[in-house]
Structure 1
Amino acid sequence: MAAPKGVVTAGSWCCDHNKLVDHWPSEDGLATIIAEERHGGGSACNMAIALKKLDPDFLVETIGIIGDDEDGRLLVAEADSHGIERSRLRIVTGGRTSYTDAFALRETGRRTHIFFPASSDLLTPDLCDFSGIRASHLHLGLPGLYPGMDAPFAAEPNGWVAVLKKARAAGLRTNMELASVAPDTIARLVRPCLPVLDFLIINDVEIGALAGMPTGSEGSTNVAACRVAARKVLDAGAMDLLVVHFPAGAIALTRSGEMLAKPSLRIPAEEIAGANGAGDAFAAGILYAVLEGWTLADALALAHAVAAASLRRVGTTDGVLRWRECLALADRWGWREEID
């Protein structure tokens, strides 16, 4: 009997203290918080919840570390409410849960994150035990934010490589999510991971950092440069699928030579509340569709639809809907112009 498909998420569980502001102030300036709320955040949390919202019957397990404070209890409640298997979500007695002050700008939806690591500094490869895991795929993140994972571990250049190798030894296929850290940090920590990754779903800035080349400037994406960078990164790793997303769309490359481009949804400006978590939502759409056996074209369409649904709320996963409802948004709003 085949092993059940599903995803175990590992790494970042934090509490997002989301704040919608009227403008972004200059240094020593003042802005007004229009709305605020607390929700789960971090790569492991966001992917786990997004997958369960897309399909409540989809198998999702998680590995992480949180404190036993109010933020930690909120995360446990969110995991339980969505049916996420969390027996490997370690709760540190007396510990503080990591949190992010996530500021979203009302006019553009762009966000700025200020991160407090707290208990997540205790995350190490030893915490990632895959014995008894039922899922078929690992989603791991975020390099550059966790000293215990960023440092060399045993004979490996860093803990991320060690965990990916452990997962593969346990029969799991692997995916990694990156964070908006310095390009040289991304290159240093993630390039050694490429030979033990099966998937990589990242943005235009991150692919440029990995390839060591510019892929845009002043918020504008150079799609042609992204294609070159993606090919360079794919050739340096073992990935069967590499997807690069950006506001106007996404490109996908496969080990077999397939290359697809898909524009993003034409979401009305008044529907956008914040971009926090949109990249996680996009990746959730890709992983769900691929594991369900969809074509790559359909996977890209779903990923954009899930990301667009996410944009409607300030929280990272609040706007995510069942997959059919996400696709209904695509039918309603339509698509941007084709990517050159």
Structure 2
Amino acid sequence: MREGIAIAGTVAVDEIKKVRKYPNSSELATIQRVSRSIGGAVSNCAVGLAKMDHELPIEVIALVGKDEKGLFIQDQLATFSNINTKQVHATGVTPFTDVIQDLTDHSRTFFTYRGNSHLFNENTIDFKSLQANLLHIAYILLLDSLDQVDDEYGTKMAKVLKQAQEAGIKTSIDIVSESGNRYSQIVPPSLAYTNYCVVNELEAGKTVGIELRDQQGNLKINELRKVLVRLKELGVQDWVVIHTPEGSFGFDGLHVHSIPSLAIEQAHIQGTVGAGDAYVSGVLYGALKGMELPQAMELGTAAAASSLLAEDSTSGIKPIEQLMNMYQQYAKRETIEI
């Protein structure tokens, strides 16, 4: 009997550097504080889920480097007894990200070295030994080998997702946020073999060619329903969810749901690295446990909010009961009707 979740794809080390204010070109900025944490979807989601539920079976499928950063990642994952790392293999150089956090507005700028991520390909996952009933793969647009064209399925990523579904495993995808116009070509083939698509507003909008923020950065509320429906039409079989700082918006094929974000005071926000992965983890946990979409979105909202209370990706995430209480007890932003 299949049980739990497998998380495959991008793993990295986050080198977090806090500056008073992000500099303009050619200007100097003094680093106020330096810290290190695990990063990337695999590390963030695996550890986040392990902290939510220490009995949940979690399988990690990733490539770490044969270097000090790779050992750091493996040591961090090994601290959780319910994380299975049998499909973590050492090769090449560990990816890392310099995360520059502006202390003025808590915005983040990322400088990523992809390292061995291009080596993660269609043969990396051993489906015969996989025990999970849900496979989450991230990120599309960052795993170069899986972004390659496949004559039958559109992309290699789509082929892997199809293999998972044929093995009786539900699938979930995430996308990396980047500038450029690759979304509409590379993302849609995978959606035809995706059960759960949980992405932010930039990724969702670029995938279907509809911008979800105006030039002033305001959320284009009237376009949200259209984007949700369009993503579902591209083949997502169960849930489409778009998460934003203002709130999250979901579509299960029958109903559209709007869940407000928690109103965390700015003074309490220690960092925003990994909030998106925390949100995804909460929603996928809800899916695994048979929750309805709105309840899963509430859990994702609380997980994302809790991650803001620590400067790294996962330290702030709490057990599932505390997260559910957190959503009920904290003040919320105004619900956005779409």
Instruction: Measure how far apart 1:153 and its partner are.
Output: 4.2
RMSD: 1.4
Given residue 87 of structure 1, which amino acid in structure 2 is its aligned partner? K
1:229 aligned residue (224, 227, 230): 227
2:53 aligned residue: 55
1:118 and 2:115 are equivalent in the alignment = yes
8 Å contact from structure 2 (residues 264, 305) kept in 1: yes
Instruction: Measure how far apart 1:325 and its partner are.
Output: 1.9
CA distance in 1, matches of 2:156, 2:145: 7
1:173 aligned residue: 170
1:310 and 2:307 are equivalent in the alignment = yes
CA distance in 1, matches of 2:178, 2:157: 16
1:86 aligned residue: 85
* CA distance 1:195–1:291, shift in 2 (3 Å): same
Given residue 231 of structure 2, which amino acid in structure 1 is its aligned partner? V
> For each residue in 1:187-216, what CA deviation from the matched residue of structure 2 results, as whole angstroms up to 9, or x when unmatched?
211111111001100111111111111111
1:281 and 2:278 are equivalent in the alignment = yes
Q: Which runs of 5+ in 1 are unaligned?
A: none
Q: State percent identity of aligned pairs.
A: 28
4+ residue stretches of structure 1 with deviation over 4 A?
none
> For each residue in 1:54-100, what CA deviation from the matched residue of structure 2 results, as whole angstroms up to 9, or x when unmatched?
101111101110112111011001111123101111111xx321101
1:203 and 2:200 are equivalent in the alignment = yes
* CA distance 1:182–1:239, shift in 2 (3 Å): farther
8 Å contact from structure 1 (residues 106, 273) kept in 2: no
2:23 aligned residue: 25
Given residue 289 of structure 2, which amino acid in structure 1 is its aligned partner? E
1:247 and 2:278 are equivalent in the alignment = no
CA distance in 2, matches of 1:223, 1:82: 40
8 Å contact from structure 2 (residues 13, 96) kept in 1: yes
2:13 aligned residue (9, 12, 15): 15
CA distance in 1, matches of 2:319, 2:118: 34
1:266 and 2:286 are equivalent in the alignment = no
1:182 and 2:165 are equivalent in the alignment = no
CA distance in 1, matches of 2:218, 2:126: 41
1:329 aligned residue (305, 319, 326): 326
8 Å contact from structure 1 (residues 139, 176) kept in 2: yes
Instruction: Measure how far apart 1:328 and its partner are.
Output: 3.4
> For each residue in 1:287-318, what CA deviation from the matched residue of structure 2 results, as whole angstroms up to 9, or x when unmatched?
10121122322211111110000111221112
8 Å contact from structure 1 (residues 104, 314) kept in 2: no
CA distance in 1, matches of 2:203, 2:336: 19
2:37 aligned residue (28, 36, 39): 39
CA distance in 2, matches of 1:183, 1:233: 19
SS of 1:267's equivalent in the other structure is: coil
8 Å contact from structure 1 (residues 174, 198) kept in 2: yes
Given residue 323 of structure 1, which amino acid in structure 2 is its aligned partner? I
SS of 1:196's equivalent in the other structure is: coil
8 Å contact from structure 2 (residues 93, 115) kept in 1: yes
2:70 aligned residue: 72
1:214 aligned residue: 211
CA distance in 2, matches of 1:13, 1:187: 25
CA distance in 1, matches of 2:78, 2:240: 32
> For each residue in 1:205-259, what CA deviation from the matched residue of structure 2 results, as whole angstroms up to 9, or x when unmatched?
111111111111233211221211111111121321101110010111012x121
Q: Which runs of 5+ in 2 are unaligned?
A: none
CA distance in 1, matches of 2:165, 2:292: 24
* CA distance 1:270–1:247, shift in 2 (3 Å): same
* CA distance 1:107–1:324, shift in 2 (3 Å): farther
Instruction: Measure how far apart 1:183 and its partner are.
Output: 4.9
Q: TM-score scaled to structure 2, two decimals?
A: 0.95
1:140 aligned residue (119, 137, 143): 137
Given residue 29 of structure 2, which amino acid in structure 1 is its aligned partner? A
Given residue 70 of structure 1, which amino acid in structure 2 is its aligned partner? E
Q: TM-score scaled to structure 1, two decimals?
A: 0.95
> For each residue in 1:244-296, what CA deviation from the matched residue of structure 2 results, as whole angstroms up to 9, or x when unmatched?
110010111012x1211110001111111221111100010101012112232
Aligned residues: 335
Instruction: Measure how far apart 1:332 and its partner are.
Output: 4.1
Given residue 232 of structure 1, which amino acid in structure 2 is its aligned partner? R
8 Å contact from structure 1 (residues 20, 314) kept in 2: no
